Structure 1
Amino acid sequence: MLSYDLNREWLISKFEEIQYRILKAIEQLDDDQLNWRPDDLSHSISNLIKHIEGNTNEKIKNGILGGTVARNRDDEFKHTYISKTELIKMVTTSFPLVIDTVRTMPEQTFEQRQLVRNKEVTNLDVLLQCTAHFSEHTGQILYIAKMCLKNQYISTSF
């Protein structure tokens, strides 16, 4: 069996970085800015965070941990007003779940498979895809924050 220590360390580091940057962006914005959309075809930061939470429920809670959380992906993109407090709670619940799962899961769990969009993939593949997916949405979140705050935006890079 392969050793997954390097993957585990990298995944934890990446998920921690994504959580940190999203929270730093949220802290700079008010409720209206967090729910603002550039246009009717675009998503708000609240939609993107709700979508990340839905993805976490599907891929981690259900896929890796064997839960039965219902997911309605279409609802994640409906324009709904979510408070800053609730968004922070969503982020500080979802990411620690992912990080703790990666930190504590046995090596053989990385090799176990789950069905994603009618394709069987390993849990390692799922976790790596989640880092890419969440990073893409983090970029969108940061861009929207910059649009709202303009020159008052404070970089989330470290």
Structure 2
Amino acid sequence: MQVMTELLVKKFEEIQGRTLSVIDQLTDDELNWRPNDSSNSISNLVIHIQGNVNERILRGIHHAEIVRNREEEFEAMKKTKNELLAITKDTYKTVIETIQSMQEETWRSTQLVRGKERTNLYILLQCAAHFSEHLGQMMYIAKMLKNFDYVSTSIPSKKAK
């Protein structure tokens, strides 16, 4: 499990760094911009990832009493860049610290997700894929807004760290 722990930590650190890089290069208005009423802003996506972590990790792995209102995550909202940077750092800190502290039996323990039993290992792999998909959406929004001024997230931002 040590190899899995190291791989997952590295993957979530990468997703976090790239997310922070996207957020860092946008204004508050750009972070809250939605192309239309049925689409998400970067703020929505950050809050949605936080909601997913609250449900799957805090409630699912740590058994915390969390009530999630998923629909609220997709409503129009106003968040500042600083709020989104802090939420992102806190969200990924929770994920990474959880992974680093997990014992072998926790990896194999299950939780119910949409009516199906899933191991915590499966959940964490799914989270990595899910968060990467939303990172792609964030990058696309940022590139649309910044055009040629967009800075690739594969080059770590010194400001975002």
Indicate the TM-score class for this superposition, using the shorter chain for normalisation: over 0.9
Partner of 1:11: 8
1:48 maps to which residue? 45
Structure 1 consecutive aligned stretches of length 4 or more whose deviation exceeds 3 Å: none
Which structure 1 residue ranges, 5 or more long, are not aligned?
Answer: none
1:149 and 2:146 aligned: yes
Q: Which residue of 1 aligns with 2:96?
A: 99
Structure 2 counterpart of 1:42, one-letter code: S
- The correspondence for 1:65, drawn from 44, 62, 66, is 62
Give yes or no for the alignment of 1:113 onto 2:141.
no
Q: What count of residue pairs does the alignment treat as equivalent?
A: 155
Deviation at 1:79, TM superposition (A): 0.7
Q: Structure 2 length as normaliser, TM-score?
A: 0.94
Percent identity reads 52
Calculate the TM-score normalised by the size of structure 1. Answer: 0.96
Q: Could you list the runs of 5+ residues in structure 2 that have no partner in the other structure?
A: 156-161
SS in 2 for 1:64: coil
Q: 2:159 matched to which residue of 1?
A: none
State the alpha-carbon separation in 2 of the partners of residues 58 and 65 from structure 1: 10
Partner of 1:128: 125
Quick one: distance in 2 between partners of 1:57 and 1:63? 8
Distance in 2 between the 1:79 and 1:38 partners? 11
Residues 20-55 of structure 1, C-alpha deviations (whole Å, 9 max, x = no match): 000001000000000001122110000000000000
What SS does the aligned partner of 2:79 have? coil
Measured in 2, the distance between the counterparts of 1:27 and 1:83 equals 11
Cα deviation for residue 85 of structure 1 reads 1.1
CA distance in 2, matches of 1:28, 1:69: 32
